[in-house]
Amino acid sequence: MQNARDRKIIPTGDSAGQVEKHSTHIYPHRLNFYDTPPLGDITIEEFETCALDRLRVLAEIESSFVRNRAYEELKEVTTKHCQKYLPLNSNSAHTLDLDAERRKDHVGHFVLRLAFCRSEELRRRFVKAETTLFRVRFDNDDGEERETFLKSRNFEWVLVTNDEKNQYKSQLAATTLKGASVDTERYYKVKWTRVPDLVERRRVLLKAGFAYVPSREISSIAFQEFQTNLTKALEMTAKALPWLDEDTRIVPILDNLSQGFLAGVPSEWSGMSTGSGTEITAEMVDDLAREHFPLCMRNLHENLRRDRHLKHFGRLQYGLFLKVLGLSIEEAVTFWRRSFSNIQDDKFNKEYRYNIRHSYGLEGKRANYPAKSCQQILMSDQPGPGDSHGCPYRHFSPDNVQTALLSMYSSRGLTAADLPEIMNTVKGSHYHVACTRVFEITHAQYGVSKGDGIGGGESVTHPNQYAARSRELAKENEGTKAEGDGDIIMMD
Q: What is the pLDDT of residues 93-109, one digit of tens each?
A: 776 788 889 999 999 99
pTM: 0.76
Element (H, E) at 415: none
- Is residue 457 very low, low, confident or very high in pLDDT (cuts 50, 70, 90)? confident
User: Can you tell me whether residue 159 is helix, strand or coil?
Assistant: strand
- What confidence tens digit (pLDDT) does each residue in 391-417 have? 999 999 999 999 999 999 999 999 999
CA distances from 231 to 116, 117, 318, 366 (A): 11, 9, 42, 48
Average pLDDT over residues 305-320: 95
Residue type, 220: S
The DSSP line for 17-50 is: T-----STTT--SS-----S---SEEEHHHHHHH
Average pLDDT over residues 195-205: 89
pLDDT of residue 135: 96
CB atoms within 10 A of CB 3: 8
Higher pLDDT, 94 or 235: 235
| DSSP strand pairing (158-159 vs 7-9) | unpaired
- What confidence tens digit (pLDDT) does each residue in 67-82 have? 889 999 999 999 999 9
Structural domains in the chain plus CATH codes: 4-151+225-263 (1.20.930.80), 158-217 (no CATH), 282-483 (no CATH)
pLDDT of residue 179: 55
Residue 236 has pLDDT above 60, yes or no: yes
Residue 483 has pLDDT above 70, yes or no: no
Residue type, 471: R
Residue positions in the annotated binding site? Answer: 296, 374, 391, 435
The residues, ordered by sequence, that sit 6+ positions from 154 with a Cβ below 8 Å of its Cβ are none
Q: Quickly count helices (H) and strands (E) in the chain.
A: 22, 6
pLDDT of residue 194: 86
- What confidence tens digit (pLDDT) does each residue in 356-399 have? 999 999 988 888 889 999 989 998 888 998 899 999 999 999 99
Higher pLDDT, 491 or 317: 317
Residue positions in the annotated binding site for [4Fe-4S] cluster? Answer: 296, 374, 391, 435
The residues, ordered by sequence, that sit 6+ positions from 232 with a Cβ below 8 Å of its Cβ are none
